[in-house]
């Protein structure tokens, strides 16, 4: 039970923000309903989209409407949704300011879950030339319409710059393109080229040893060490920083990503806007009352929904433990679990932790079904559903107990107005 009025601000309503807020709401509902605890989630988006589903929209023609729901439908009633983004998060003075109306909301604890977004400004010409299968369901649907018109030519897919979210996604695009044109009986007339700034088709050697032979077997051209500098949309030409050129007819690159612009220049973020985050308990810089989860962090792991999920659970469990005075502390294990569809109803996974190297996993139909299962349970998982399944699946990697005890919380100073 919370002894004094406490307010928690969750900045960002993506997977991490929603799972944190809804988990807190489920576990602390008595305190929320009695007015001792307030949880606000700030996000100006109308919809929340199931981002792994973009591939199915772009390369299989799935209806984009099935990949989105109203954000307001995904927030439990005990959580207050403020339908605005924040323009400022002042951790020292414990308040956020909303973007449109300029309202100020105080907090005792803040969770930064602002995700990542494509940053086309890094590569001149890319935004005009690119068909983005990676950023929205509607853009993915537009790409599928374009694919249906292609009869011949060279499609270049891959990685335009670092970092980016969902590391397997560029490889998946190559596999799914190949399958698409084989099924259309146009494969011999469509050249597929995969470019990457890494030295391998997949950045990690273990995963690469599984997928690179498959890409080669399917006659997908691989150009590694390609640091894209610019795109000439008129000449349909890519140029690398080293002066190499690659022509294209259709361009499908994953753009480099950056953190939320509001964090550029703040002392608790790096120069690119990624939040300085403790890799275990996820506190921000030297702050005890601020946490960051998901893509927004500077953690050296994949930017993907599963990390946001597991991090949200760790932060929620620690906060609940502290409020309930159990003294238990939990740590994020760094668990990765990114699925990679390799075409023809097969998939592999990228699985590892901070302490355990990435495993070698052969593609299989079983893995593919696991990936598809996630599509089925995703919306419920955002509300804290299927926790038993995730606990069972991730086992000791779901979270681990820590020896460290958090110091007592300072007296809350609620400044909301």
Partner 1 sequence: MTKTVVDSRGTACPGPITDLIRAYRKSANGDIIELLATDPGVRADSKAWCERTNNELISLEEKNGVFTVEIRISGKKG
Q: Does 321 bind partner 1 (CB under 8 A)?
A: no
Q: Counting contacts by CB under 8 A, is residue 402 touching partner 1?
A: no
CA angle 166, 169, 174 (to 5 degrees): 165
**Would you state the structure tokens that stand for residue 243, as one six-digit string?**
């002066």
Tokens standing for residue 166: 């969902």
How far CA 189 is from CA of 95, 172, 193, 235, 245, in Å, comes to 58, 20, 13, 21, 22
Residue 102 is a binding residue for partner 1 (CB under 8 A):
no
224 touches partner 1 (CB under 8 A): yes
CB of 242 to partner 1, least distance (A): 5
List the one residue from 35, 77, 265, 300 that touches partner 1 (CB under 8 A): 300
CA pair distance 37, 28, nearest whole angstrom: 8
416 binds partner 1 (CB under 8 A): no
Cα–Cα distance, 329 to 345 (Å, whole number)? 41
Q: Which of 122, 138, 321, 416 binds partner 1 (CB under 8 A)?
A: 122
CB of 164 to partner 1, least distance (A): 10
Note whether 203 binds partner 1 by CB under 8 A.
yes
Contact between residue 381 and residue 390 where contact means Cβ atoms under 8 Å apart? yes
Binding of partner 1 at residue 384 (CB under 8 A)? no
127 binds partner 1 (CB under 8 A): no
Contact indicator for 407, 288 with CB cutoff of 8 Å: yes
Chosen residue from 29, 138, 227, 364 binding partner 1 by CB under 8 A: 227
For partner 1, the binding residue among 29, 127, 138, 204 (CB under 8 A) is 204
Q: Which is nearer to partner 1, 17 or 255 (CB)?
A: 255
Q: Backbone phi, then psi, for 346, in 5-degree steps?
A: -125, 150
What's the half-sphere exposure (Cβ side, CA atoms, 13 Å) at 51? 21
Task: Provide the strand spans (E) within 14-173.
Answer: 37-42, 47-49, 68-70, 80-82, 86-90, 95-98, 104-106, 109-112, 117-118, 153-159
Give the Cα separation of 140 and 47 in Å (integer). 16
What are the percentages of helix, strand and coil residues in the chain, rounded to 5?
Answer: 35, 25, 40
**Span interacting with partner 1, options 101-109, 224-232, 289-297, 322-330, rule CB under 8 A:** 224-232
Write down the least CB distance from residue 44 to partner 1, Å.
29
From the list 78-86, 134-142, 194-202, 306-314, the region that binds partner 1 by CB under 8 A is 194-202
Q: Tell me if 377 contacts partner 1 by CB under 8 A.
A: no
Q: Which of 243, 395, 403, 408 binds partner 1 (CB under 8 A)?
A: 243
Looking at 46-54, 287-295, 351-359, 383-391, which segment touches partner 1 (CB under 8 A)?
A: 351-359
Q: Please, are residues 53 and 137 in contact by the beta-carbon 8 Å criterion?
A: yes
Residues of this chain that bind partner 1 (CB under 8 A): 122, 161-163, 197-199, 203-205, 224-225, 227, 241-243, 300, 352, 357-358
């Amino acid at each position: 039970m919370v002894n004094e009025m406490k307010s928690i601000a969750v900045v960002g309503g993506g997977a991490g923000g929603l799972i944190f807020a809804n988990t807190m709401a489920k576990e602390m509902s008595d305190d929320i309903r009695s007015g001792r605890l307030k949880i606000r989630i700030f996000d100006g988006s109308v919809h929340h989209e199931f981002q792994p589903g973009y591939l199915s929209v772009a390369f299989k023609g799935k209806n984009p409407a099935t990949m989105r729901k109203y954000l307001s439908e995904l927030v439990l009633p005990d959580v207050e949704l403020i339908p605005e983004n924040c323009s400022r998060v002042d951790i020292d003075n414990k308040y956020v300011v909303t973007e449109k109306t300029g309202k100020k909301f105080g907090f005792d604890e803040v969770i930064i879950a602002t995700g990542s977004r494509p940053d086309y400004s890094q590569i001149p010409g890319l935004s005009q030339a690119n068909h983005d299968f990676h950023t929205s369901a509607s853009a993915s649907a537009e790409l599928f319409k374009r694919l249906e018109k292609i009869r011949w030519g060279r499609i270049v897919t891959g990685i335009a710059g670092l970092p980016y979210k969902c590391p397997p996604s560029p490889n998946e695009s190559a596999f799914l393109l190949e399958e698409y044109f084989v099924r259309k009986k146009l494969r011999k007339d469509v050249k597929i080229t995969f470019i990457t700034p890494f030295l391998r088709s997949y950045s990690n050697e273990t995963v690469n040893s599984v997928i690179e032979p498959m890409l080669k077997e399917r006659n997908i051209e691989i150009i590694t060490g390609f640091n894209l500098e610019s795109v000439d949309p008129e000449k349909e030409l890519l140029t690398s920083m080293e002066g190499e050129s690659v022509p294209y007819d259709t361009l499908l690159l994953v753009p480099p990503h950056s953190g939320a612009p509001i964090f550029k220049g703040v002392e608790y973020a790096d120069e690119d806007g990624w939040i300085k985050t403790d890799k275990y308990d996820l506190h921000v810089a030297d702050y005890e009352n601020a946490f960051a989860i998901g893509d927004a962090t500077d953690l050296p792991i994949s930017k993907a929904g599963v990390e946001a999920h597991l991090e949200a659970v760790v932060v929620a469990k620690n906060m609940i433990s502290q409020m309930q005075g159990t003294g238990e502390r939990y740590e994020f294990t760094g668990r990765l679990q990114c699925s990679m569809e390799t075409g023809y109803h097969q998939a592999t996974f990228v699985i590892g932790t901070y302490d355990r190297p990435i495993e070698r996993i052969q593609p299989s139909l079983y893995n593919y079904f696991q990936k598809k299962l996630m599509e089925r349970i995703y919306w419920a998982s955002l509300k804290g559903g299927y926790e038993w399944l995730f606990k069972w699946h991730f086992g000791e990697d779901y979270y681990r107990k820590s020896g460290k005890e958090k110091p007592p919380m300072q007296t809350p100073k609620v400044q909301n107005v």
